Amino acid sequence: MIGAGFMGVAHSQGWRVAPRFFELPLQPEMSVLVGRDLERTRTSAECWGWSEAATDWREVIERPDIDVVDIVTPGDTHAEIAIAALDAGKHVLCEKPLANTVAEAEAMTDAAERAAARGVRSMVGFTYRRVPAATFARDLVAAGRIGEIRQVRAEYLQDWLSDAEAPLTWRLQKDRAGSGALGDIGAHAVDLTEFITGQSVSRVSGILETIVSERPLLGESSGLSGTATAERGAVTVDDLALFTGRLSSGALASFEATRFRTGRKNALRIEIAGSTGALSFDLERLNELEYYDATAPAEEQGFRRILVTEPGHPYVGNWWPAGHMLGYEHGFSHQAKDFVEAIAEGSAPTPSFADGLHVQRVLDAVERSSNADSAWTAVD
Amino acid sequence: MIGAGFMGVAHSQGWRVAPRFFELPLQPEMSVLVGRDLERTRTSAECWGWSEAATDWREVIERPDIDVVDIVTPGDTHAEIAIAALDAGKHVLCEKPLANTVAEAEAMTDAAERAAARGVRSMVGFTYRRVPAATFARDLVAAGRIGEIRQVRAEYLQDWLSDAEAPLTWRLQKDRAGSGALGDIGAHAVDLTEFITGQSVSRVSGILETIVSERPLLGESSGLSGTATAERGAVTVDDLALFTGRLSSGALASFEATRFRTGRKNALRIEIAGSTGALSFDLERLNELEYYDATAPAEEQGFRRILVTEPGHPYVGNWWPAGHMLGYEHGFSHQAKDFVEAIAEGSAPTPSFADGLHVQRVLDAVERSSNADSAWTAVD
Amino acid sequence: MIGAGFMGVAHSQGWRVAPRFFELPLQPEMSVLVGRDLERTRTSAECWGWSEAATDWREVIERPDIDVVDIVTPGDTHAEIAIAALDAGKHVLCEKPLANTVAEAEAMTDAAERAAARGVRSMVGFTYRRVPAATFARDLVAAGRIGEIRQVRAEYLQDWLSDAEAPLTWRLQKDRAGSGALGDIGAHAVDLTEFITGQSVSRVSGILETIVSERPLLGESSGLSGTATAERGAVTVDDLALFTGRLSSGALASFEATRFRTGRKNALRIEIAGSTGALSFDLERLNELEYYDATAPAEEQGFRRILVTEPGHPYVGNWWPAGHMLGYEHGFSHQAKDFVEAIAEGSAPTPSFADGLHVQRVLDAVERSSNADSAWTAVD
Amino acid sequence: MIGAGFMGVAHSQGWRVAPRFFELPLQPEMSVLVGRDLERTRTSAECWGWSEAATDWREVIERPDIDVVDIVTPGDTHAEIAIAALDAGKHVLCEKPLANTVAEAEAMTDAAERAAARGVRSMVGFTYRRVPAATFARDLVAAGRIGEIRQVRAEYLQDWLSDAEAPLTWRLQKDRAGSGALGDIGAHAVDLTEFITGQSVSRVSGILETIVSERPLLGESSGLSGTATAERGAVTVDDLALFTGRLSSGALASFEATRFRTGRKNALRIEIAGSTGALSFDLERLNELEYYDATAPAEEQGFRRILVTEPGHPYVGNWWPAGHMLGYEHGFSHQAKDFVEAIAEGSAPTPSFADGLHVQRVLDAVERSSNADSAWTAVD
């Protein structure tokens, strides 16, 4: 695994726990953790369960005892590492966003396709697809349980920038973060919409907005946090993205990604209205799915709160008895399981790099639309 | 109508509004309002829409132009007025509780039965039965949609006595109010349980509790409110009633009536678990009914929030289009409508005085059980 | 009152009930109901409590005994009636939308301003402002309880067109209805946003969408309903409107108006995120307001469900005791009360015709933006 | 660890994960798993991460390289193992219920006290105390945030026996399971009440009920499941327990434990009403706590939904960023962490065996009360 931040913890937990709850066809071995500082990486490796620590990812991906490379570094490094790893014949799991630019994502997708021809697998980490309620929502749509899709609302609401005095971290600087709410969380809303509906966004119209345009500069800091100083600098990414997309069936989906929805901590929500039913999901209540069956008698229709904790629900049977809740991290075990199974079976795991590229293209089109007075802009 | 307090307003609104939304076989005329003080009663009569004001109820119930007597006085006066009115051949609607004692309620029921033999109708005002969601719940149970009833939880939660310095009004004195939470709101929980399940409570075990036993005495006051003084007096009614009842089918129902559930303002709630489904209702969200269908596939089961505002729901079609909410007072129009229809048809309206008597007997049994170390006590 | 449809019932109920619960400085008398068919209007007049029935509105507005004209006819007739009534010196309450076109609304606003100079009052019927929870939300914003407004989400979700075989009524024809979801329900979302935030929408970008473009023609019918035939006709209004608006402070508000959100019956929802708090309201739970106080310690922050049924809440003290629910129709009593009070005081009631005109201009700008590839379009 | 059922998985996950997220003063080593069948135990040991497998627990607890014994066997074996382990000088974590009888629990508590004198620690596994929302609730109560406790409602609702044809497993037989819903889940409701309130139950009145008294016998089976046969046998434990308890402060708490509340899967709920506030928790939404502050202005009071996922909440800071959900199993890591810390510090971990004994005594008193016509029965 390359990268040693918060996402590294989540992926480590996924790799470590998956084989204990799922019967995997291959046993993952957690070999090498690659970070920037050897000492710190050693500590992390030990803590998270990796056998070795290293600082040179190029060396590691050449090692013959390494089969899988898991990339959890910041987005601007994904392309270089992933392409090198795929070319070295390693299966690659790459955290989202696939890359910071469409060009990089295209190069990665090319590499993934070349690799696939040699039986080398790749996958991008839109983990929320693997929350059981989300997977179950996809299954219900696929089974025709809500009929033809009429419209979609997808939003990812957070509020951690509400405080105008929160400091100007690298995540608020375009050259380092690529984009703001759009790429960081809007990407999840797009992917989840496409996953559950089975359709893709073809055209968009939207606006990106920076709500607080100047923030205190950080003083010297180590790590993610730091102390604000008296000086101020410009926020160069979006705080809020509002856009509408046209799905392949012609239906409209409206999107919102924001870090300013005071009181909403991690509300990735999607509601899908169909001709014979509807579905509603909120990541803040990730063990629940609301389902509306419009074919019931009018007097008996209503959104029903399904606790997605029954043995028959996706992934759930391998965990605890019915009624016992799962959390954020379980999606990473599901991801690890599915990726290992695809490698073992020789099948193509999803979401593929091409899926990740497509999401990047949607985000890029939103940015272009925003720059063009919200004109409808094709995704390509 | 005899009585001119808050309940009088609600009943007046019911009588006035019902004929405008429902096609009634007979047109109610709002003739005389009877109160204690002529001047004040005149003002109320005018405000609430009664043609005349009077102070002597005996005189009024003898008037040949009066057909219906609606009693909304305090409980200790119900028996005398209702019996006199029935004996005078007037149809009687009597607000709950039917009476303050079982003996009085028995006398009233006797009078009601004598009157019924002469075609004179009587009804007791458990209005919450006529909230559309409650009536619809009864219909679902009757149609077998939750199967055999396994257990019931019914509670009426308020918090207006949470403040230990709230003054000692007449409602907290046994000689005037009869009982506390038990009779005032517990009666509703019992009636609603019996109404929706179609069963009656035959035996009970329970405890009555006074949580704050002394409160400031009221100084001179006019009306319901008044100023607390430095002196204190004893609270002689229950603040909290907890009891369990055996239903006619053998199932257990557990009850709670309290004015100390901080944060709950008017939460009359009932949840009924059956062999093939369940129902859940809360008066704080009176336009909703939650229904659980346990015959659906396990993965698709969930409590569904039905908005009971469809034209096909009980009473609803005569009000607003689907999706428009009703409020507290609409039950009083439904009550007026049903009572007028029963009179016109010559059928027996429900809940009857016998039903009201039965509820009194349940409450009385709870009190006796509480005095007997919570021993199981027969209702009779 | 001119007009005898469903809105007429609601307004009649407002006029009839308001003086019984509020002490009004002037007593409204319900004189004449004007409809098209004399016989039918007579029946309605009697049922809803009007003394007379008439068919010629011009005659009625000239009558010296008429002080107030309440217009509840379809939108295309508002301008002519309202202007005539104002010019005749009658106070005018006009149901929303103020008119079907901006030009008509402008003429009406001119007339209203002329009339105001002579002490004649006018008001447009955005009743949802007067749901206590909405008024209370406005009060909290005005008191600075959520700080500076950062972003707004407002949506009005219905689903009564989800069935693709629902017939082509006049509401789906542009020449008669003006617009679809946009004008009918989107107007409420815009007005409520402006009311609660105290700001106005200055520019918009959006799209109008017809989801089901052909529907069965109606056969001969009387009244609102009718039987579908085998022939089909084109739906010429929008089923769904998605737009973003720029508020006067610079904040963005995103809007949705739809009749295709399966499972949502009457969900007028607004959520306002501020720098120190947030508010969330849903008309399907109209007695509740959710408030988030971001100045509390981080561990104690949360959306709190306020039951807006306390005596201290707007309008509530005149109805029932705390914890007793109000319904859809109560807003009409509040509207009647406020209008009568403004007339008596000689003050300008709100929302004014100018407010109604402004909403029309916002809707018009949305339509123009939709026709211009969602380009940002000034409201003017 | 002794025992290899479902609880063994949860405890293993706790031991394995805790040291990766919390800085522990001592590093737990997962040495030996003890089961009945060596082959099967070996497989489990490997899967769950234990170094060795064994079948003779007596041998294992004598091993000098073993410091801690974790007991997750059925309740009837707890006493013998725990006492032997404590006497052998091993720290003991024992899954709830502490024992099947009060006598056994007393002997265990004696052993624990003897051991404590020698610095040997013991703890009983009421894990739900360590759900962050529950711990936070305790903290709020302790900080006086709801004032004086007025009344408590605690319930543990499940529905897995709703199906009358579900087979007669050992859990429905008194000689093997001790009791039914009372001991299995009612114990949690009692412990959580005592933990959060800081008070203990001193007297009880209640009833135990078997709703479905005969069920199909199991045919030959391996493991937990099996096939129902045509024969039927008697259910000898309770399906439903309803009881009221007197807390040390004098307040009443009402309890329900049931496996027949159709639609409720794992609803351990507690609501505590205090003189200045209230708290409400539901294990089905374990990342949330509802808090009501009755000292706010009346118009602004409401239950607020706190997402207990902030860094400042108990245990939460060591997991994921704010807004990321935890699940069922995280409590087991918290338990492991707290137990290890207590051992390292030489302090007494809670809940102690004495706490577990007290819960057993409460359950025993409920059973005696049920047999004595629900008479109030002292806990001792």
For chain C, what's the residue count? 380
Of D125, D119, D214, the C-alpha closest to D164 is: D214
What phi and psi, each to the nearest 5 degrees, are found at residue C144?
A: 80, 15
Q: How far apart are CA C194 and CA C362, in angstroms?
A: 11
Q: Say what the pLDDT of residue D380 is.
A: 85
C16 within 8 A of C330, measured Cβ to Cβ: no
pLDDT digits (tens, 9 = 90+) for D285-330: 999 999 999 999 999 999 999 999 999 999 999 999 999 999 999 9
Exposure string (b/e) for C212-230, b if CB count within 10 Å is 16 or more? beebbebeeeeeeeeeeee
Query: Beta B52-54 vs B32-34: how paired, if at all?
Result: parallel
C-alpha torsion angle, residues C54, C57, C61, C67 (rounded to 10): 60
Q: Percent of chain D having pLDDT more than 90? A: 90
* Direct distance between the N- and C-terminal alpha carbons of chain B, in angstroms, rounded to an integer: 31
Distance from CA of A375 to the nearest CA of C (A): 6
Q: How confident is the model at residue D223 (pLDDT cuts 50, 70, 90)?
A: very low
pLDDT digits (tens, 9 = 90+) for A283-297: 999 999 999 999 999
Distance from CA of B319 to the nearest CA of A (A): 16
* Residue A267: strand pairing partners: A157
Q: Say what the pLDDT of residue C177 is.
A: 83
With beta carbons under 8 A apart, name residues in chain A contacting C263. 273, 277-278, 280, 292, 294, 301-303
pLDDT over threshold 50, residue B147: yes
pLDDT digits (tens, 9 = 90+) for C295-325: 999 999 999 999 999 999 999 999 999 999 9
The CATH label, of 3.30.360.10, 3.30.1280.10, 3.40.449.10, 3.30.470.20, for the domain at C131-321+356-371 is 3.30.360.10
The minimal CB distance from C302 to the residues D291, D299, D312 is found for D291
The minimal CB distance from C265 to the residues B158, B309, B329 is found for B309
Q: How confident is the model at residue A36 (pLDDT cuts 50, 70, 90)?
A: very high
With beta carbons under 8 A apart, name residues in chain B contacting D374. 205, 244, 374-376
With beta carbons under 8 A apart, name residues in chain A contacting D5. none
Q: How confident is the model at residue C222 (pLDDT cuts 50, 70, 90)?
A: very low
With beta carbons under 8 A apart, name residues in chain A contacting D44. none
Q: How far apart are CA C3 and CA A61, in angstroms?
A: 78
Q: How confident is the model at residue C225 (pLDDT cuts 50, 70, 90)?
A: low
- Considering the segment(s) D129-354+356-371 as one domain, its CATH architecture is 2-Layer Sandwich (3.30)
User: Which two tokens mark D124?
Assistant: 């009983």
The minimal CB distance from A303 to the residues B301, B305, B310 is found for B305
pLDDT over threshold 50, residue A241: yes
What phi and psi, each to the nearest 5 degrees, are found at residue D233?
A: -135, 165
pLDDT digits (tens, 9 = 90+) for C323-377: 999 999 999 999 999 999 999 999 999 999 999 999 999 999 999 999 999 999 9
| CATH annotation of A131-371 | 3.30.360.10
Name which residue leads in pLDDT, A181 or B222: A181
Indicate the domain borders of chain D: 6-128, 129-354+356-371
* Direct distance between the N- and C-terminal alpha carbons of chain A, in angstroms, rounded to an integer: 31
State which fold the B131-354+356-371 domain adopts. Answer: Dihydrodipicolinate Reductase; domain 2 (3.30.360)
**Which chains share 3+ C-beta pairs under 8 angstroms with B?**
A, C, D
* Residue D253: strand pairing partners: D152, D245
Q: How far apart are CA D327 and CA D13, in angstroms?
A: 12
Distance from CA of C274 to the nearest CA of A (A): 7
Q: Say what the pLDDT of residue B178 is.
A: 83
pLDDT digits (tens, 9 = 90+) for B181-228: 999 999 999 999 999 999 999 999 999 999 999 999 987 654 445 567
C-alpha torsion angle, residues D53, D56, D61, D63 (rounded to 10): -70
Q: Say what the pLDDT of residue B225 is.
A: 53
B308-321: average pLDDT: 97
Q: Poorest-confidence range of A252-261, A268-277, B224-233, D57-66?
A: B224-233
Q: How far apart are CA D68 and CA D79, in angstroms?
A: 16
Q: Say what the pLDDT of residue C221 is.
A: 52
| CATH annotation of C6-128 | 3.40.50.720
A172 within 8 A of A182, measured Cβ to Cβ: no
Quote ipTM for the complex: 0.95
pLDDT over threshold 80, residue A227: no
With beta carbons under 8 A apart, name residues in chain B contacting A317. none
Q: Say what the pLDDT of residue C251 is.
A: 98
Q: Say what the pLDDT of residue D6 is.
A: 85
Mean pLDDT of chain C: 95
Instruction: Please state, as a whole number, how many other Cβ atoms lie within 10 Å of the Cβ of residue C164.
Output: 16
* Vertex A287 angle, CA A286 and A292, to 5°: 95
Contact C47 B20 (CB under 8 A): yes
Q: Percent of chain B having pLDDT more than 90? A: 90
C268-288: average pLDDT: 98
A344-372: average pLDDT: 97
Amino acid at A49: G
Mean pLDDT of chain D: 95
For chain B, what's the residue count? 380
Q: How confident is the model at residue D222 (pLDDT cuts 50, 70, 90)?
A: very low
Contact C328 B330 (CB under 8 A): no
Q: Say what the pLDDT of residue A222 is.
A: 47
